[in-house]
Structure 1
């Protein structure tokens, strides 16, 4: 029979060993978390959600504004309506694709980070793993360049709505100062190329333009386009983070594979 003090000491030693093992296991698991990919995934999901959700509603409001105030004949904006409807379907596809792609990139980040941290033994240097990492590096670069174009394209309606809003502010200031009649200040939507030059009326002047700026459709569409543009910018930043993370992980895996190859001899 062991003394009670020795038994208690052994139990304390076992408990401390278990706590130490649990702590080391937690540290090891936290070391395998791809924090850069995790931040990029959250930012990508947020940016794509803002771009797709706000862009879809803003396009619908834009069509309503054009039909009511700038192109009263349906045949004049029929092509534009079809293009906007097609863009809305494209938005659905973009949202679905990037939801899946973000999850895949996060999983790839877990794999490569764990491999770099040597958490999975020899699995870290397989040719298949390096090939998959290289494929994601290339695909992320391509998508990053494409989203730069999307970001630039999303800034066009913001620029157009800003010009209309600033013109309305000029009309208000002129009416306050009683200097120049506001009827002489107009906005011609036809110059942006979204409706043909024979569209009627095609432009709005003075109080009519000011009333357009005061409508809920204009206010909502303007601010939703701004948020959609910001979402596209957030997605570009997320893809840049993905680029850096995937390129670094691929480079480290490539280096480790060469190191393992050399150590075999």
Structure 2
């Protein structure tokens, strides 16, 4: 950087090299992963309690679900660590490519190796985005189930207030086996009538619902962050390839 440049010009030049889109994508990824990991971990713990208490009292009836909860909680720990490190790498790579594209600093040069590295990050991030799209889709299942259960409980309350006959609301049930959450051999498997309404009154039900919504929002934020990074990285890589094909060092 030339010595005659003033402090203002130096600051403007430094700020111009900041990869704002990549920085936003990194912050979104960090926030999204934090929400997803924290929400999903606690929601799974509460889910185990709800299922064991009300839907499948025998351990063998929800053994698969219990194993999934246990192992997925370990996966959550790994996800948090992985995205913390990967976010730092993405931010560093974004700073490099943005500086090279804008030709801000003379020491940043685009080489075949650096373009190959940028392409590798782009491909890995694309694969991660596809994986998180699947995670985002599956995270809506417990939210949908608990939302339906809450609405069904509301229906039971209305029926209990408008009629004195137990038969009117005893047929209103929620069955997690229909959602693939429990095997069909699980007993009782479903809850009906006022029994279900009493479950909905428990604080643990609303806590679990809120935690799953948090995890769902976190998965969406992470997916959005990855998409933002893909857009920025694709643009930077395309510009570097174009300048390289013209014989321009950047």
TM over 0.5: yes
Report the TM-score range of the alignment, normalised by the length of the smaller protein: over 0.9
CA contact (8 A) 2:65 2:182 kept: yes
Q: 1:189, CA displacement in angstroms? A: 1.9
For normalisation by structure 2, the TM-score amounts to 0.93
- In structure 2, the gaps of 5 or more residues are none
Query: What per-residue deviation string (whole Å, max 9, x for no partner) do you get for residues 170-223 of structure 1?
Result: 101112222862222111222222222222111111111011111122111111
Give the whole-Å Cα distance in 1 for the aligned partners of 2:119 and 2:212.
35
Give the whole-Å Cα distance in 2 for the aligned partners of 1:189 and 1:244.
39
- In structure 1, the gaps of 5 or more residues are 1-16
Does residue 134 of structure 1 match 2:112? no
Q: Secondary structure at the match of 1:24?
A: helix
Q: Secondary structure at the match of 2:174?
A: strand
CA contact (8 A) 2:143 2:209 kept: yes
Corresponding residue to 1:217 among 204, 214, 221:
204
2:32 is matched with 47
Does residue 251 of structure 1 match 2:238? yes
Corresponding residue to 2:220 among 204, 217, 233:
233
Q: Equivalences for 1:90-169 in 2 at 5 Å? A: 90-121=75-106, 123-169=108-154
Alignment coverage as a number of residue pairs: 245
Q: Equivalences for 1:63-82 in 2 at 5 Å? A: 63-82=48-67
Q: Equivalences for 1:78-89 in 2 at 5 Å? A: 78-89=63-74
Give the whole-Å Cα distance in 2 for the aligned partners of 1:23 and 1:122.
21
Give the whole-Å Cα distance in 2 for the aligned partners of 1:248 and 1:137.
11
Q: 1:54, CA displacement in angstroms? A: 0.3
Q: If each structure's helix is expressed as a fraction of its own residues, which one has the higher value?
A: 1
Q: Which moved more, 1:32-41 or 1:196-205?
A: 196-205
Corresponding residue to 1:200 among 171, 178, 187:
187
